[in-house]
A and B are shown apart, each in its own frame.
Chain A
Amino acid sequence: MKPALTARQAGLLSCHVCGQLAQAPLDANQRSRCPRCAAPLHQRKPASINTTWALLVAAALLYLPANLLPIMVTSSPVNHQVDTIMSGVIFLWRDGQWPLALVVFFASVVVPLLKILALVYLTASVQMRSRHRVMQRARLYRVVEFVGRWSMLDIYVITLLVALVQFRGLATVDAGPAAVAFGAVIVLTMFAALTFDPRLIWDPLTDSETADHD
């Protein structure tokens, strides 16, 4: 089998929009654009590791208020209930609506947490130029990319309930401050997944091959 050759080793840049291959400029700092679709070309996403770290730290910090502060306040003449994300899940569970409780638990609690942890693991392993479990990490990144959007679930539920349940004297629903923090966690982790460059996972493999040949 021929040794694997990456575009970077061949001195080529591949356009992330149209896939066109173009010769990399001699000066690495020189900006170049795709000859076919004029998109900016980069060998790898610029400052990928640092940007991803910054976004992850911000997301991890905001994950706390998102889960500790109230997200929804329900009022009726007989009770006044202040819910965090988790207490809302427990309420659904005790109410016998456990399939719904599970959906909300996964979308709002598990997915954001696992997404942050998975991206921390991916970014750290890439920074240490790990050559272990490359395929598994590539798959993990695909899962993270796909699953992150589903965390928006609770935001949409609150949007609808707050708009619909405004019966003064009977029942009202209001949004709590955790909604803002939670929305920020989702946006930050989505940007973190977008700034992470999955090609960095594979780079250590081919780097060592070139070293061996030299």
Chain B
Amino acid sequence: MSTYKIAVIGDKDSILGFKTIGVDTFPVTSDQTALDTLKKLVSENYGVIFITEELAQGIPDVINELHKRYLPTVVLIPNSKGALGIGIEQIRKNVEKAIGADILFRKEG
């Protein structure tokens, strides 16, 4: 057991508020810097990384790869423009992967 840190990656307008509650903020704007930052954070001692859906959209491969690891946990959050529905979509995909059919959302659609 050891101590980890928490980080948030996103556009500055969305994430600055996180700083006040003690989360390390990394404002980025482009996909490339987001990727670099994410890679850097993974190699450092971060246990939970929040990333905005907008940025996550640009780097799905790395995010999916990290989902298979024990740590860190990458969590998608909406940004100030609202949720894109990728986070929910991922839950749906997980259900499909595990069970073979989408039994969670079928009722609604």
Partners in one complex: no
Report B's interface with A, CB cutoff 8 A.
none
Q: Which residues of A are interface residues toward B (Cβ below 8 A)?
A: none
